[in-house]
Homo-oligomer: A and B are copies of this chain.
Amino acid sequence: MKELADVQAGAPAIDIAIDRVGVRGLRFPLRLRDRARGIQTVTARGALGVDLPASRRGTHMSRFVEVLDAWQEELGCQSMRNLLERLRERLGSSRAWASFEFAYLMRKPAPASAGAAGMAYDCSVSAELAEQLACTLGIQVPVMTVCPCSRAISAVGAHSQRALIRMKIRIERFVWLEDVILLAEAAGSSPVYPLLKREDEKFVTEAAFASPAFVEDVARRVAASLEAHPHALAFEVEVESMESIHNHNAFAVIRGGAGQ
């Protein structure tokens, strides 16, 4: 059989270098360290890319899939480096990048009763390897916020809502997802829970009303905690609250850390 042409290896009509080229929407099993259970395997959604010099027409898309498929390591900064080195090698590129999204399940006890149930947190890990490895952890944590203004000015009550804390954290070594989740949950008026019996609902309501917080307050608390975190090199925290009195949302963003 005659050799099939390698069209991608040819010269492009326009000699502009490409910053990143690759594939998106791959789904694959990903093994995560889980403090309670050792290992948790999730179905992640992945994207992979490399740079492409001005002299090469195209990358070889199937190699991304092969490299990811062969990579069976537990998620961490070192394993991401291994994946990206393999990508650079197979694609002949100077830079390589990967980004994964997944839901992390944690067992969450109710605050007052003996109940417990599982709850999922949307997480991501992305990393780029150029001269050095830059690895970023993303975690979204829902909390409850009670509005301090509504609380102060109203004769009774205060509006509350679910708010989402989204953190992007530059890391160099392993960080427990559980630690970051707890840190964020402490920053709202109250954590949210999968299972609340009546005594729990009373507990959560009263605790939340004792600690009203604007999105600005929540963002600052998370920022202060991340500033104090030994392994968070730099971070961005965004808090978005689904205001119960409006059909639009409020948000606040803080960027911080040594690597800022």
Contact = CB atoms under 8 A, between A and B. Distances in A.
Main secondary structure of the interface of A (DSSP, over half): mixed
A34 to B, nearest CB: 12
A55 interface: no
Centre residue among A25, A119, A253 by max chain B CB count within 10 A: A25
Interface residues of A, number: 106
Contacts of A132: none
A157 B160 CA distance: 10
A100 interface: no
B152 A217 contact: no
A247 B164 CA distance: 10
Interface string A76-93: 000000000000000000
B58 A8 contact: no
Contacts of A244: 144-145, 160-162, 192, 244
Count identical subunits in the complex: 4
A128 interface: no
A130 B213 CA distance: 28
A102 to B, nearest CB: 8
B69 A220 contact: no
Contact of A59 (B20, B59, B216): B216
A16 interface: yes
Interface string A1-40: 0001111100011101111111111111100000000000
A208 B157 contact: yes
A240 B49 CA distance: 13
Interface in A104-135: 105, 115-120
A252 B17 CA distance: 11
Given A5-B149, A16-B220, A42-B43, 11 more contacts: A14-B220, A14-B221, A18-B219, A21-B215, A26-B194, A58-B217, A119-B247, A142-B247, A155-B206, A162-B246, A201-B245
